[in-house]
Amino acid sequence: MPATSITNRRIGPLKAIEVGEAKKGPTIVLFHGYGASGSDLAPVSAETPLDFPAHWIFPDAPNRTSFGGLAWFQIDEKAIEKAQQEGVAVDFSNAEPSGFEEAKKMAEEFLKALDIPLENLILGGFSQGSMLAAEISLSQEKTPKGLAIFSGNLINQKSLLKEAPLKKGMPFFQSHGIADPILGFSGARKLYDLLTDSGLEGEFLKFEGGHAIPIEALEAFGSWIDKIR
């Protein structure tokens, strides 16, 4: 079997890692989490079991954190730290993080430059990247092939309550650790319930563990992609 092609290129305003070729299968765009980069998430392309070749894109966020990683938008680190100390989950459901709208616009420019119809894309991400992917998926005129949410939470609830019903029937996959100390399990369930109550068709995998993408989540993700492609 020939080796899968891996390239680094600029797509619109963002740098990205590209794995595989568009003509050989569905295109899956995954946005990384806070303080990470596209290269941190890129191993998902090799670790997700699929019955067919796929085309993967892992863009880099434009903003740099104080400790050197990349970010799509700012997060309330103090609120998360306080919640960890108190053993309670932070409720971000009614908040729009600083810089979120700018991140959304840049991601939309990136997808436009990708020049692949939105209905042929599976959009997703990890942590704050999944929140960005959810907002983009629900707010566009066209409907993506699917949405993948790894360790995400509900934010911008008011906005999503308006947008989600317009995407009735859109499939989505979601996974979350029951002991996640960063983004609580309750926030993940709130997001899942909002989406399914709005008519989207979701699969939810809960796993023993924290803020991560374990192999069981990737196996379930691969099975879900096989079903919707």
CA distances from 217 to 20, 91, 98, 129 (A): 22, 24, 30, 16
- Residue 24's CB is within 10 A of a number of other CB atoms, namely 13
Instruction: Determine the average pLDDT of the residues in 106-129.
Output: 96
Q: Give the residue numbers spanning the domain of 202.
A: 6-228
The Cα 149–Cα 42 span in angstroms is: 16
In whole angstroms, what separates CA 210 from the centre of its chain? 17
Instruction: Return the pLDDT at 134.
Output: 98
Q: How confident is the model at residue 2 (pLDDT cuts 50, 70, 90)?
A: very low
In a domain, 44, yes or no: yes
Instruction: Return the pLDDT at 68.
Output: 82
The overall pTM is greater than 0.75: yes
Q: Tell me how long the chain is.
A: 229
Instruction: Return the pLDDT at 83.
Output: 67
In a domain, 190, yes or no: yes
Q: What is the CATH number of the domain that holds 65?
A: 3.40.50.1820
In a domain, 96, yes or no: yes
Q: How many independent structural domains does the chain possess?
A: 1
In a domain, 1, yes or no: no
- pLDDT tens-digit readout, 52-98: 889 999 999 999 988 889 999 988 777 777 766 776 777 789 888 88
